Amino acid sequence: MSIDLSQFKQTFLEESDEGLDVLESGLLALDSGSADEDVIHAVFRAAHSIKGGAGTFGLNEIASFTHIMETLLDEMRDGRREITQEAITALLNSVDVLRDMLEAAAEDVPPPMENAEQVTQELEAILNGVGQATIQTTTQATTNEQVVDEESVASVGWKVFFKPMEHMLRTGNDTVRILRELSALGEIKLTSDTSEIPDFSLMDPELSYISWNAELTGEISKEQITEIFEWVDEDCELVIEPFGEAKVEETAVPEAVAVAAETVQVAPETTAQPATVQSEPAAQPVAAKKERKKEGGSIRVGTDKVDELINMVGELVITQSMLSQMGSDFSMQRLEDMREGLSQLERNTRELQESVMRIRMLPISFSFQRFPRLVHDLSSKMGKKIELKLSGEQTELDKTVMEKIGDPLVHLVRNSLDHGIEKPEVRVEAGKPETGTIHLNAYHQGGHIMIEITDDGAGLPKDKLLAKAIKQGLTTESEGENMPDDKIYDFIFHPGFSTAETVSDVSGRGVGMDVVRKNIKELGGNIELSSEWGKGTKFTIRLPLTLAILDGQLLRIGDEVYIIPLVSIIESVEIDPSQISSIAGGNEVYKLRDEYIPLLHLDKMFRRPPRHNALEDSLMVVVEGDTHNLGIIVDDLLTQQQVVIKSLESNYKRVEGISGATILGDGTVALILDMMGLIAMSQAVDAPHAKAS
């Protein structure tokens, strides 16, 4: 029977990912000395499982690489080896290597071996060449075994004396099975010795008293026989000698041979594979393929969530059948019942929707767990002492949102590490504890998840920010004088804005805070910051729990109904036409209090029938963009409601300025406006005009 092992590979890769996380967090805990014995056991087990699975599923490079890690961890676990900083670092490096190898395995490309070889050397150096020695002995045993093999084929056959010890049955080994296997090897002549069976009254049926003499004829190697007795080696007396030849004294199978036999079993697989794989070009475009992997990932859902879902569906079916029964013989007396039924249906639907959503929800710990390592590595690199605190790790959010917030979070934490927390000596001088703290916190608020990144570092230098903003022409000196703090802090989200004196390789590598904010906005969220000079900085990210549903404001322009995500709306005002002024290029701005806001006529932009109302009867909805705000002129604001987002791209095609569509209660389709897209469009419209003027 041949079974396709690849069907289990996906499961193996997923659990290996989890294993790597266990490894990483365990090693970090060991490093900081906060680990107890359970941790080293868990770490060992994780490496051990990866090795076992990798071997089973044909990922031999991973298996042999993990083997060295496992050996080292095993010695640490037994207390045979001290847990040193050096070893932890090497093991952490090997976690990275393994992660790459597993990723390659997921893409079915040969694993990258360069780093693996280097880390292997590091690990072997730590093992003090012990690894080398083991390998040598194994090979030696193998060759020995082969020699023995040739010699051990007896010309005629074998005489086997087998005397189970009394307790052998209690190990689950059955004499009958062993004799049956023996007889399968060739022709057998079996005699039993029952002389040791005690008197009936003393006999214990659970013990074994009979010994056996077997004469086996045929072309049988000694190993074939010893293999049968492998499990009972210690539980019996066993004499195997060649038939009719000079007696070779050998009572029990030497241990070395038994071990060697196993080595041989696995050897063809472990050695043959790497040779063929390595000869192929190693560097495949892995990066390009990574994307694809993320698109169609799988998700592990707790059984309780599935059960809950099934429950809901059950309820829904009951309500539905109740309603349809009512429909078949309806009279006005039952109107109240029907209303009741309909509201129950509504409740069921809502609950069902919620629990379906919950299936895609994962605890944010999946995203947080990479930070201990990041902070550990970077802080030692920068000579800073930093403690990372995590809280609210069990707060759940949508899988897609989580995947997309990963990079911005990393950027923010790097930023806190680099610019926020000061060097130990500076901190001491300022009367602060030497070790700085970065705190990641998550919690739910309304239909949103809030993520806070707080550091107790230097805080943002307000004066420097303002000076830089003036220098870059983002504001003027007079404007800056009475500028509120949050406006000043806001400059850091401007493209190309960085106050760092030196560009370190930790942060300030091109990707700026503007990208962070853009990414967060694209998810329909926002980011705020507060800071106190000398005390620290706190970033607060607010994200929707899911991307499938949004809170929308319905608005009407001409005959069209559009939807704006509620989070992007700052305010809505009645238009005072006198505040509108035309600027170069035929564009208009609206003076709202002290701010000039570019105006957008959606009807013109989308080339739709014009607005019904005159300008003075219209409203302006002020929406927030990443660089500036925008005023959209609308006829009317309708209701606010939750809308289910349908992809326009998969049903029609991508349209600039539109992020999706939804179906309204009356069955019509309404388009959901994409604020970022609209602002980009309005700027694109501006640009050629600006040049012309």
Q: Which residues are catalytic?
A: 48, 70, 415
414 binds other proteins (CB under 8 A): no
Closest contact distance (angstroms) between CB of 70 and other proteins is: 8
Task: Please tell me the count of residues contacting other proteins according to CB under 8 A.
Answer: 46
Who contacts 217 (Cβ-Cβ below 8 Å, separation ≥6)? 156, 157, 186, 187, 188, 189, 243
Among 75, 124, 145, 235, binds other proteins (CB under 8 A): 235
Closest to 74 in 3D by CA, of 134, 121, 114:
134
**Whole-Å CA distances, 123 to 13, 71, 87, 130:** 24, 10, 7, 10
12 binds other proteins (CB under 8 A): yes
* Closer residue to other proteins (CB): 11 or 325: 11
Among 20, 21, 24, 48, binds other proteins (CB under 8 A): 48
Distance between CA atoms of 538 and 457, rounded to whole angstroms? Answer: 10
* Closer residue to other proteins (CB): 45 or 608: 45
Closest contact distance (angstroms) between CB of 227 and other proteins is: 10
Assess contact for 71 and 138: CB atoms under 8 A.
no
181 binds other proteins (CB under 8 A): yes
* Closer residue to other proteins (CB): 14 or 149: 14
Closest contact distance (angstroms) between CB of 127 and other proteins is: 15
Who contacts 666 (Cβ-Cβ below 8 Å, separation ≥6)? none
Among 23, 51, 62, 164, binds other proteins (CB under 8 A): 51
Lookup: tokens for 118: 């280097």
Looking at 328-385, which runs of residues are DSSP E strands? Answer: 361-363
Closest contact distance (angstroms) between CB of 385 and other proteins is: 33
52 binds other proteins (CB under 8 A): yes
170 binds other proteins (CB under 8 A): yes
79 binds other proteins (CB under 8 A): no
Closest to 412 in 3D by CA, of 499, 511, 323, 483:
511
Residues 117-136 that bind other proteins (CB under 8 A): none
What is the helix (H) or strand (E) element at residue 62, kind and residue range? helix 60-77
The stretch near other proteins (CB under 8 A) out of 53-61, 80-88, 543-551, 577-585 is 53-61
Closest contact distance (angstroms) between CB of 309 and other proteins is: 21
What does the DSSP assignment read for 152-206? T--SSEEEEEEEE-TTGGGGT--HHHHHHHHHTTSEEEEEEE-TT---GGG--TT
437, β-bridge pairs: 387
- Number of Cβ within a 10 Å radius of residue 550: 23
Assess contact for 100 and 21: CB atoms under 8 A.
no
17 binds other proteins (CB under 8 A): no
* Closer residue to other proteins (CB): 54 or 550: 54
Lookup: tokens for 237: 């007396």
**What does DSSP assign to residue 234?**
G
Assess contact for 533 and 425: CB atoms under 8 A.
no
Parallel, antiparallel, or unpaired: how do β-strands 658-663 and 636-644 relate? unpaired
* Closer residue to other proteins (CB): 175 or 682: 175
556, β-bridge pairs: 561, 636
* Closer residue to other proteins (CB): 169 or 470: 169
* Closer residue to other proteins (CB): 257 or 357: 257
Task: Give the Cα-Cα-Cα angle 373, 519, 571 (nearest 5 degrees).
Answer: 135
The stretch near other proteins (CB under 8 A) out of 168-176, 313-321, 484-492, 633-641 is 168-176
* Closer residue to other proteins (CB): 165 or 515: 165
Residues 265-324 that bind other proteins (CB under 8 A): 265-266, 269
Closest contact distance (angstroms) between CB of 500 and other proteins is: 45
Instruction: Give the three-class secondary structure for 212.
Output: strand
* Closer residue to other proteins (CB): 233 or 576: 233
Distance between CA atoms of 592 and 178, rounded to whole angstroms? Answer: 94
Among 15, 315, 393, 636, binds other proteins (CB under 8 A): 15
Among 32, 56, 311, 639, binds other proteins (CB under 8 A): 56
- Number of Cβ within a 10 Å radius of residue 549: 17
Burial of 213 by CB count in 10 Å (0-12 exposed, 13-18 middle, 19+ buried)?
middle
Closest contact distance (angstroms) between CB of 143 and other proteins is: 17
* Closer residue to other proteins (CB): 146 or 391: 146
475 binds other proteins (CB under 8 A): no
What is the helix (H) or strand (E) element at residue 437, kind and residue range? strand 436-445
Instruction: Write phi, then psi, for 590 (nearest 5 degrees).
Output: -115, 130
Closest contact distance (angstroms) between CB of 251 and other proteins is: 18
Closest contact distance (angstroms) between CB of 16 and other proteins is: 8
With both helix axes pointing from N to C terminus, report the angle between 255-279 and 37-56 in degrees, rounded to the nearest 10: 70
The structure tokens 């189970």 sit at 164
Parallel, antiparallel, or unpaired: how do β-strands 636-644 and 549-557 relate? antiparallel
6 binds other proteins (CB under 8 A): no
* Closer residue to other proteins (CB): 173 or 526: 173
The stretch near other proteins (CB under 8 A) out of 10-18, 94-102, 334-342, 480-488 is 10-18
Lookup: tokens for 272: 């043959």
* Closer residue to other proteins (CB): 262 or 463: 262
The stretch near other proteins (CB under 8 A) out of 118-126, 169-177, 271-279, 515-523 is 169-177
Closest contact distance (angstroms) between CB of 182 and other proteins is: 12
Burial of 108 by CB count in 10 Å (0-12 exposed, 13-18 middle, 19+ buried)?
exposed
Among 142, 173, 284, 540, binds other proteins (CB under 8 A): 173
2 binds other proteins (CB under 8 A): yes
The site string for other proteins over 184-213 (x = CB under 8 A, - otherwise) reads ----------------------x-------
63 binds other proteins (CB under 8 A): yes
What does the DSSP assignment read for 247-284? PPP--S--HHHHHHHHHHHHHHHHHHHHHHHHHS-S--
Among 20, 21, 27, 49, binds other proteins (CB under 8 A): 49
Report the interface residues with other proteins, using CB under 8 A: 1-3, 5, 7-9, 11-12, 14-15, 42, 44-45, 48-49, 51-57, 63, 169-174, 177, 180-181, 206, 230-231, 234-235, 255, 258-259, 262-263, 265-266, 269
